[in-house]
Structures are given as C-alpha cells and as structure tokens.
C-alpha cells in the first residue's frame, strides 16, 4: 500500500510538472457529526478536480472512520450501548497518546472505551439538538445511547422526545429529584412528582422505542418504602423502571437488595444500577470524591438477573463531584483520580 501511495503522488507530480495536469484539486474531507468535529481536515487542493481523478485519490486516501480516533487500546466494548468519541476521557486519552504518555493512555482507555451516560441539562438551550446529534451518531454504529435528563424544565421534554423519535434510547429521568423531594414542602413535593409523571408520559408517547427509568436514589438515602411512595406519584406505572446509585458509590450487593425491594413494591418493575464507581468500599457518609473509589462492573445488559436490566456507567467515571477532597469543580475531568479508579479495579 505504501509503494502505491508513493507512486501515485510521484506520478501526479510529474504530470503537473509536464503541464499535462495544470488544474488544482481537492480531496473531499470527511464530515463527522458536528459534535465530534475537533478540527477541520486541511484542504490539500482546490475544488476543480475532474471526477475520475477524485475517485482515484479517494481510493488512495479513503475518508477516515469515526472509529479511527480510537487506536492503540486493547479494550473493545461488546455491549449494546453507545460509546462516545467526544467524552472528556476520550479526548484526554488522545492527548496523552500525542504527548507520548502511553502508559497513562492505556489505563485511561478502560474508561474512554466504555459506554457512559450522556447528561442533558436544563441550562443548555441546545439540549434537543445535542440529543438529535447523539441519536444520529449512535444509530450509525448500531448502539443505544443512554441519556441522563438532569434539571430539565418541562418545556424541553417535548423537544427532547421528538429528537429521539422512534429511535432506541435509554433515559434516566432526573437523578436526585425523588431523593430531595423529602426536603420540600408538601405542595412543592406534589408539584415536582406531578411534573415527573407528566414527563414520563410525554417521553413514552414521543419516543415510543425508548426506555424511561425514574431515578430512585440509593440504598443509604431513603428506605425503599418511602421512595416507592414517591415513585408511584411520579408515574412509575407508566415508566419502564427505575435507576439506583446514580453518581454514588454504594456496593452492588446493597443496591441489588434495595432495587429488588422496590421492584416488589411496584408490581415487579425492572431497574438499572449505576456501577461506574462502586468497585470498592468507601465511607457511606461521603458522596463527594471519597477516597479509595474504584470502577465497578463494566456497562452491560447481561446481568444474569431478570429484574436488573443493566449495569450502567450513568455518572462518567473520572468526572469530579465538586471542589472537595482535592477535586476540581463539578464535572471537570480529574485524571489522577480516574487512573486511581482503574488501578483499584484490578
């Protein structure tokens, strides 16, 4: 292949020097989805190339696959869920490789090559556009995206549901909303639960091929009996199930017991567990960057339990919980901590 590339360009150069080829030409650049573009592919030539020559050059320099941004890592995810190439961990892994920090990049790829929750927050007016872009990209590779709707106003739910349409997606609805409902006045709590119920109905109607899971906190927060009352008012009957341990560190065994008790009280509703950071025991009272955390089970829908639909990395591992215990601001990627979680997993 190398000799062919070299020969082709030498031949083109000779033709140009001899005057046989006097035009300028351009190799069509690969157009990745907007949210994956990090720099424009440089144009080598102008746009006046004859069609036959363009086809020759395209065979020599085929447009890169979106998967070519993932090189040099032995991790190959085989789950049904979407692995993004624009996550903080994926971008940082590529930077580490460019800097020659291969060992750190190899460790980080244990995170960057795994499916992670895509957080859609209410403070972004382009929320629906982002959802549509991820849906398009996930569909192109035959994977299912996991969206986390966090503090999203009801006015956006319709547009988000429409952006998903008939495509497959899993949706975790409003982490912490039920857990914090206990701190509200009765009137405010009823309003919140009623709004969640309406959002479930909208999503199930406008995105009928999707699964909707209402967040139910975790095993160290509220009793299953208390959270079930909130789930019922929030429309669990119309949802596909509920989620537990989102952005927390509770042991898998505790979450399974907690989830099954809730399921029993909600006519057998299924559930998912966030296993992004619960691979090691940490203080039950610490939720913000606790020391000693480790990656948990890798994302999968093969849980060997009929009630547990999946273990998911809802909270992207390595992203800080906030400026506590030496961490950067909330949502910022913390490389040192990420590498520590990978090492402690093994």
Per-residue confidence (pLDDT) for residue 77, from 0 to 100: 93
- Examine the domain organization and report whether 285 and 147 are in the same domain: yes
Least confident of 123-127, 211-215, 294-298: 123-127
Q: What is the mean pLDDT of residues 36-50?
A: 32
pLDDT greater than 60 at residue 17? no
Least confident of 69-78, 273-282, 289-298: 69-78
Per-residue confidence (pLDDT) for residue 309, from 0 to 100: 98
The terminus-to-terminus CA distance of the chain in angstroms comes to 40
Asked which of 10, 36, 64 is the last residue of a domain, the reply is 64
Asked which of 18, 39, 64 is the last residue of a domain, the reply is 64
Cβ count within 10 A of residue 56: 13
Per-residue confidence (pLDDT) for residue 71, from 0 to 100: 54
- Examine the domain organization and report whether 32 and 140 are in the same domain: no
pLDDT greater than 80 at residue 46? no
Per-residue confidence (pLDDT) for residue 121, from 0 to 100: 93
Q: In what order do the strands lie in the sheet with 211-215?
A: 118-121, 146-150, 170-173, 211-215, 241-244, 270-274, 308-312
Per-residue confidence (pLDDT) for residue 155, from 0 to 100: 87
pLDDT greater than 90 at residue 76? no
- Examine the domain organization and report whether 314 and 252 are in the same domain: yes
Least confident of 35-44, 57-66, 131-140, 261-270: 35-44
Q: What is the CATH number of the domain that holds 84?
A: 3.20.20.40
- Examine the domain organization and report whether 22 and 80 are in the same domain: no
From the centroid of its chain, how far is CA 214?
18
Per-residue confidence (pLDDT) for residue 269, from 0 to 100: 98
- Examine the domain organization and report whether 341 and 197 are in the same domain: yes
Q: How far is it, in rounded angstroms, from Cα 145 to Cα 5?
A: 38
- Examine the domain organization and report whether 110 and 36 are in the same domain: no
User: Which of these, 259, 212, 207, 261, lies nearest to 238 by C-alpha position?
Assistant: 212
- Examine the domain organization and report whether 237 and 323 are in the same domain: yes
| Domain total in the chain | 2
- Examine the domain organization and report whether 287 and 140 are in the same domain: yes
- Examine the domain organization and report whether 31 and 128 are in the same domain: no
Q: What is the mean pLDDT of residues 6-20?
A: 44
- Examine the domain organization and report whether 28 and 130 are in the same domain: no
pLDDT greater than 50 at residue 30? no
Asked which of 48, 64, 80 is the last residue of a domain, the reply is 64
Q: How far is it, in rounded angstroms, from Cα 199 to Cα 197?
A: 5
Domain holding 55, by residue range, is 2-64
- Examine the domain organization and report whether 168 and 246 are in the same domain: yes
Q: What is the mean pLDDT of residues 4-32?
A: 39
Which residue has 């042991």 as its token pair? 251
- Examine the domain organization and report whether 201 and 327 are in the same domain: yes
Output the pTM of the full model: 0.80
């Amino acid at each position: 292949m190398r000799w062919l590339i070299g020969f082709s360009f030498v031949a083109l150069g000779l033709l140009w020097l001899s005057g046989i080829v006097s035009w300028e030409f351009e190799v069509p650049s690969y157009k990745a989805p907007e949210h994956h573009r990090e720099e424009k592919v440089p144009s080598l030539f102008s746009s006046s190339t004859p069609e036959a020559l363009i086809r020759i050059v395209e065979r020599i320099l085929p447009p890169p696959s979106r998967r070519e941004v993932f090189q040099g890592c032995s991790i190959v995810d085989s789950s049904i869920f979407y692995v993004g190439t624009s996550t903080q961990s994926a971008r940082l892994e590529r930077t580490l490789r460019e800097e020659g920090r291969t060992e750190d990049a190899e460790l980080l790829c244990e995170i960057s090559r795994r499916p992670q929750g895509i957080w859609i927050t209410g403070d972004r007016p382009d929320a629906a556009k982002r959802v549509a872009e991820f849906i398009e990209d996930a569909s192109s590779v035959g994977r299912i995206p996991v969206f986390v709707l966090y503090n999203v106003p009801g006015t956006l739910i319709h547009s988000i549901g429409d952006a998903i349409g008939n495509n497959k997606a899993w949706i975790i609805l409003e982490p912490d909303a039920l857990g914090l409902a206990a701190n509200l006045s009765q009137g405010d709590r009823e309003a919140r639960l009623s709004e969640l119920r309406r959002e479930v109905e909208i999503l199930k109607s406008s995105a009928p091929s999707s699964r909707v899971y209402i967040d139910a906190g975790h095993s160290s927060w509220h009793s299953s009996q208390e959270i079930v009352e909130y789930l019922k008012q929030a429309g669990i009957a119309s949802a596909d199930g509920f989620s537990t341990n989102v952005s927390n560190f509770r042991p898998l065994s505790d979450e399974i017991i907690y989830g099954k008790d809730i399921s029993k009280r909600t006519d057998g509703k299924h559930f998912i567990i966030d296993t992004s950071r619960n691979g090691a025991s940490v203080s039950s009272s610490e939720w913000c960057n606790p020391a000693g955390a480790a990656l948990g089970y890798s994302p999968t829908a093969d849980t060997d339990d009929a009630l547990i639909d999946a273990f998911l990395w809802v909270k992207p591992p390595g992203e800080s919980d906030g400026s506590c215990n030496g961490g950067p601001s909330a949502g910022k990627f913390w490389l040192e901590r990420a590498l520590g979680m990978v090492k402690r997993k093994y």
